[in-house]
Structure 1
Amino acid sequence: MAEKLVVVGQGPAGLPLAMRAVEAGFRVVGLDEDEWRVKRLNAGEPCAEGVGAGALAAAHASGRYAASADAADASGFDVCVLTSPVRMRNGAPDLGPLGSAAGRIAPFLRPGATVVLEGAAYPGTTEEFVRPLLEQGSGLSGDDFHLGHSPHRAEPGNPRWRLGNTPKVVSGVDAASLRAVTDFYGRLVRETVPVSSPRVSELCALLESARAHVGAALANELSIFAAHLGVDVWEAVEAASTTPFGHAAAAPSPAIQDSCLPLDVAYLPWGIRRGVGRGFRLIEAANDVNAHMPAHVVDRLGLALNRRCRSIRGSRILLLGLSPVEVAKTLCRLGARVRAADPQAEDFVVPAGVEMVEPDAAEMARADAVVVLGGQDCYDYDLVQRASRFVFDTRGRCRGPNVERL
């Protein structure tokens, strides 16, 4: 019989992993506390970027995938991957969701089984927090089962790098655990990258998040200066990306594509203060720059409307994308009539005053401004440029005389 894998969390990290594991021959239970999400998944409706209806239908057709909200369905697992995120609350990591996930699967942990933490966490989380919970809930000692950490790696909207062809950093709390974790991911990905401990793996995840966050902050601050200097920052970004050395491409955006990033990188300043007693100034500065981008987007939109003899108050504004929701909330507060189109709207709490619509040509033509806010590829950007009177593009997707870019 095929080995049983339990993936706790069926969001953007857990669902693609579950689908890839089904392809590799595992029997997979996608465990998620959100019963509405479970119902959607079992009805064949994917609810995470990177997984289409075809992939989900194939997983169901194999007879080796089912989503569940019942922890008892984890019984008898060979491998369990915890994708529960660790958020920041009141300036410190909130380990509640991760602790709940570990506690739910602990009673079903058997000798020889493997548990892997994929969610970003500060160094020490796997060994100091997850391991004791698993031991207490299962009655086993740490030597009876395998435990490790492996960072979740994904770039939303990037069709080239998927789970299967992206190198996977793997770790274990001991040599046997490292072998078990490496063997598991070796069946799913083309290349594994073993490191000496979960602490190294956890810090690797934070380093990758921090690098993306700092790069975005640099591009965002450049975009602010470039607007005052009359320079198209997007042209500069595209030109800089042609260098074959020493350049990591980053572009301005109102929000980091991966919604976990600002939270993930907050672990670093917290962990440095906790362990060393000083701040992490570079990350804190990047956090400050990126946190002010939604307000900057609204300011730029207001100036653009003023040049067209309009104000935000009373204008009909269509948002293509709801993230960051601070933009929609601010526009509503300033008196705009806000419409929004977002295929992932169920992942957000739609702000009061925002009407969800379809992004068709008629809706675009009625808007005083169409704001390209999200970075999804589901929008027809040629149609956006043709049908709209004015486009304010924060993602560099549109060009034309009626387009102003962030």
Structure 2
Amino acid sequence: MSEKLVVVGQGYVGLPLAVRAVQAGFRVVGVDVDEWRVKRLNAGESYVEDVTDEALAAAHRTGRYLASADVADAAGFDVCVITVPTPLREGVPDLSHIGSAGRSIAPFLRPGATVVLESTTYPGTTEEYLRPILEEGSGLSAPGDFFLGYSPERIDPGNPRWRLENTPKVVSGVDEASLARVRAFYEAVVEQVVPVSAPQVAELCKLLENTFRHVNIALVNELSVFARQLGIDVWEAIDAASTKPFGYMRFTPGPGVGGHCLPIDPSYLSWKVKRTLGHNFRFVELANDVNDHMPAHVVGRLTLALNDRRRAVNGSRVLLLGLSYKKNAGDCRESPALDVARRLRRLGADVRAADPHVDLALVPEGVALAEPSRAELAAADAVVILTDHDSFDYGLVQRESAFVFDTRNRCRGPNVERL
């Protein structure tokens, strides 16, 4: 009989893992506290863009996938992977979802079973926080009775090239035996695993990856502000720098950072450094400051541009193109575009938004959804490109709009102003 895998959390990380594990031959139970999610999954409806309805239906047809809100369905698992959110609460890491997941599965933990944490968190969480919860709830010990490890998720929603199965997977364990078990599990579902010596290394690895992006995005965002004031085209400078074949990686400015990772994960690292060492992680704090202020900067630039055209923001009709936090993806939670929309609404603008990927329930109150049609573009006093989905017709946008404020460098012309 195939091994039983329990994946706690059926979001953008947990559901792709569950479906991929079914394809690899595991019997999978996807546990989620959200009964709405569970009903949709068992009806064959995916709400995660990296898992199609067809892939979910194929998983169901094997008879080896079940979504459940009842943790009792985890009984008898061989491997359990925890993929729950780790938000910030008033600047402090909130591990309550990890704690709840650990306490819920601990009574079903058997000798010889393996537990892996994938949720992004600060170094030490697996061994110092999760392990005691599992040991107390099960009466077992790790290492010794069960195997425990950490493997950071590397899901990039909407990326057609780098998917779960072909993205190298960093793995770790609390001892050599745990590492061997964790490694064996992931080798069954992904093409390449990268073992490291300890969970703290793997936890830091994830934070390093996202802090690297966060800091470099902040760098080009601040450059875009200063380049404008200096009369220099920052996009041309970035294009030129990108021709260097070594020692440089291209990052581009935008209205800020969003999503589940970049606004949050670096703060986990700075919190750990401050709490443990008593030092400020100045790079992260500076990056947070720059990126947090970009939505206000975008609104300020738009205000000046409208003023140059003898228009006030109050009463102007503004069409926003893109609300999600990244290109060709649908998640707009923590999106800087939403911050821009809310700021414009508070200033009295008539705000409309076009985004073919976004869930209607997440659109801010007072923002009307619209199609970027010829008539809608022509009726707007300003069109603001916030997320450059490939489905938008940028030629049409440029031709039909009276004024375009482009934060993503997709349009050119006398009626276009770029960030």
Same fold, TM exceeding 0.5? yes
Unaligned runs of 5+ in 2: 324-334
Q: Is the 8 A contact 1:155 1:258 kept in 2?
A: no
Displacement of 1:383 in angstroms is 4.4
Secondary structure of 2:160's counterpart equals coil
Which is further off, 337-346 or 127-136? Answer: 337-346
Unaligned runs of 5+ in 1: none
Q: Is the 8 A contact 1:319 1:340 kept in 2?
A: yes
Equivalent position amino acid for 1:372 in 2: I
Structure 2 partner of 1:352: 365
Equivalent position amino acid for 1:213 in 2: H
State the distance in 2 between where 1:343 and 1:10 align.
23
State the distance in 2 between where 1:147 and 1:176 align.
9
State the distance in 1 between where 2:44 and 2:390 align.
22
Displacement of 1:150 in angstroms is 0.8
Equivalent position amino acid for 1:136 in 2: E
State the distance in 2 between where 1:267 and 1:84 align.
15
Q: Is the 8 A contact 2:13 2:83 kept in 1?
A: yes
Structure 2 partner of 1:35: 35
Q: 1:340 to 1:63 in 2, by over 3 A?
A: farther
Q: Is the 8 A contact 1:9 1:32 kept in 2?
A: yes
State the distance in 2 between where 1:83 and 1:356 align.
32
* 1:137 matched to 2:137: yes
Displacement of 1:295 in angstroms is 0.4
| TM-score (ref. length: structure 2) | 0.90
Secondary structure of 2:126's counterpart equals helix
| TM-score (ref. length: structure 1) | 0.93
Q: 1:150 to 1:370 in 2, by over 3 A?
A: same
After superposition, where does 1:52-63 map in structure 2 within 5 Å? 52-63=52-63
Equivalent position amino acid for 2:247 in 1: G
Q: 1:3 to 1:338 in 2, by over 3 A?
A: same
Displacement of 1:280 in angstroms is 0.8
* 1:116 matched to 2:116: yes
Q: Is the 8 A contact 1:156 1:257 kept in 2?
A: no
Equivalent position amino acid for 2:43 in 1: A
Structure 2 partner of 1:367: 380
Structure 2 partner of 1:213: 214
State the distance in 2 between where 1:261 and 1:47 align.
22
Secondary structure of 1:29's counterpart equals strand
Displacement of 1:395 in angstroms is 2.3
State the distance in 1 between where 2:377 and 2:111 align.
59
CA offsets, 1:42-78, max 9 Å, x none?
3333222333333333333333333222222222222
Q: 1:390 to 1:396 in 2, by over 3 A?
A: same
State the distance in 1 between where 2:382 and 2:139 align.
60
Structure 1 partner of 2:401: 388
After superposition, where does 1:274-353 map in structure 2 within 5 Å? 274-322=275-323, 323-324=335-336, 325-343=338-356, 345-346=358-359, 349-353=362-366
Q: Is the 8 A contact 1:338 1:355 kept in 2?
A: yes
Secondary structure of 1:55's counterpart equals helix
Q: 1:57 to 1:229 in 2, by over 3 A?
A: farther
State the distance in 1 between where 2:199 and 2:172 align.
5
Equivalent position amino acid for 1:77 in 2: F
Q: 1:61 to 1:102 in 2, by over 3 A?
A: same
State the distance in 2 between where 1:154 and 1:290 align.
22
Equivalent position amino acid for 2:303 in 1: G
Q: Is the 8 A contact 1:257 1:375 kept in 2?
A: no
Displacement of 1:342 in angstroms is 3.6
Q: Is the 8 A contact 1:156 1:258 kept in 2?
A: no
State the distance in 1 between where 2:369 and 2:169 align.
38
Q: Is the 8 A contact 1:157 1:376 kept in 2?
A: no
* 1:170 matched to 2:171: yes
Structure 1 partner of 2:240: 239
Equivalent position amino acid for 2:406 in 1: D
Which is further off, 321-330 or 118-127? Answer: 321-330
State the distance in 2 between where 1:183 and 1:280 align.
36
Q: Is the 8 A contact 1:49 1:156 kept in 2?
A: yes
After superposition, where does 1:72-221 map in structure 2 within 5 Å? 72-142=72-142, 143-221=144-222
State the distance in 1 between where 2:68 and 2:373 align.
36
State the distance in 1 between where 2:154 and 2:145 align.
29
Structure 2 partner of 1:248: 249
CA offsets, 1:123-152, max 9 Å, x none?
100001111111122222222111111111
Displacement of 1:304 in angstroms is 2.1
State percent identity of aligned pairs: 66
Q: 1:170 to 1:335 in 2, by over 3 A?
A: same
Structure 2 partner of 1:404: 417
Q: Is the 8 A contact 2:227 2:234 kept in 1?
A: yes
State the distance in 2 between where 1:49 and 1:171 align.
28
Equivalent position amino acid for 2:205 in 1: C
Secondary structure of 1:115's counterpart equals strand
CA offsets, 1:260-315, max 9 Å, x none?
22211001221111111111111111111011011011111112222333221111
Which is further off, 342-351 or 354-363? Answer: 342-351
Equivalent position amino acid for 1:36 in 2: W
Which is further off, 341-350 or 290-299? Answer: 341-350
Q: Is the 8 A contact 2:256 2:293 kept in 1?
A: no
Which is further off, 246-255 or 28-37? Answer: 28-37
Equivalent position amino acid for 1:49 in 2: E
Q: 1:366 to 1:20 in 2, by over 3 A?
A: farther
State the distance in 2 between where 1:382 and 1:173 align.
55
Displacement of 1:345 in angstroms is 4.0
CA offsets, 1:352-397, max 9 Å, x none?
2122334444433332222222354454444444443333222233
Displacement of 1:85 in angstroms is 2.3
| RMSD between superposed Cα atoms in Å | 2.2
Equivalent position amino acid for 1:47 in 2: Y
Q: 1:293 to 1:55 in 2, by over 3 A?
A: same
